[in-house]
Amino acid sequence: MASPISFSSLKNSVDVFMLFAIPVGGGIPAGVVLGQSRGVGWIAMSVLYFFSDVLLAFFFEPVMIVFLKIAQYVPFLQRMFAVSREMTNKTIARYGNKPGPLLLIMIAFGVDPMTGRAAALSQGHSFITGWAIAIAGDMMFFGVVMASTIWLNNVLGDGTWAAVIIMVLMLGLPPLVRRIRTLVV
């Protein structure tokens, strides 16, 4: 078992980082299993994931700004942003007029860091504070998925199946919960 702070080697760390840099949650279980199999410790994996979020911030923010500028001239994008703003406002409205950072962190935890950043931007947060909020929520999500993947890998003894099961749960459980909620209410 690797030391929690072990980065193993530069090549192993870069390989894990590249999986974490995939902007869809599926890279997390695969990166955790790869990191664990190559001697990258859980603290080191957390650091690598944090840096993948920072990289995402520097790539996503300019794209978001460009789309906001283009949307001023493209009716389809105007409608898309209006729908997005309305959905964010409906989500936030249940918790008051001006949601605090904790609610915005929970949005990033529950959806993804890009949505968390967009919600923070809609509430007037700057680049630094907006991404700090989004990354805080995403790091919490990473911690839950990483711990679950490591545990399941230890139980099953098969990293491939652990990653597949966690990925299926990550993608399938939220819609299932929403469906059950609509049936119950």
Q: What is the pLDDT of residue 81?
A: 82
- Please state the rounded mean pLDDT for residues 138-157: 94
Task: Give dist(CA 133, CA 117) in Å, integer.
Answer: 7
User: Residue 99: its pLDDT value, please?
Assistant: 79
Please give the Cα distance from 81 to 69 (Å, whole number): 11
Opening angle at CA 114, ends 109 and 146, nearest 5 = 40
- Domain ranges in the chain are 10-176
Which residue type sits at 133?
I
Per-residue model confidence as pLDDT tens digits over 21-77: 987 767 899 999 999 999 999 999 999 999 999 999 999 889 888 988 898 899 998
Integer Cα distance of 184 and 163 in angstroms: 31
State residue 48's pLDDT score.
Answer: 95
45, 17 contact by CB (below 8 A): no
Could you tell me the two tokens for 184? 């119950």
Q: How many CB atoms lie within 10 A of CB 116?
A: 26
pLDDT, residue 27, reads: 87
114-129 tens-digit pLDDT: 888 888 888 889 999 9
- 61-101 pLDDT tens trace: 898 889 888 988 999 988 988 887 787 777 777 777 777 88
pTM, 2 dp: 0.83
* pLDDT score at 25: 63
pLDDT interval class at 2 (50, 70, 90):
low
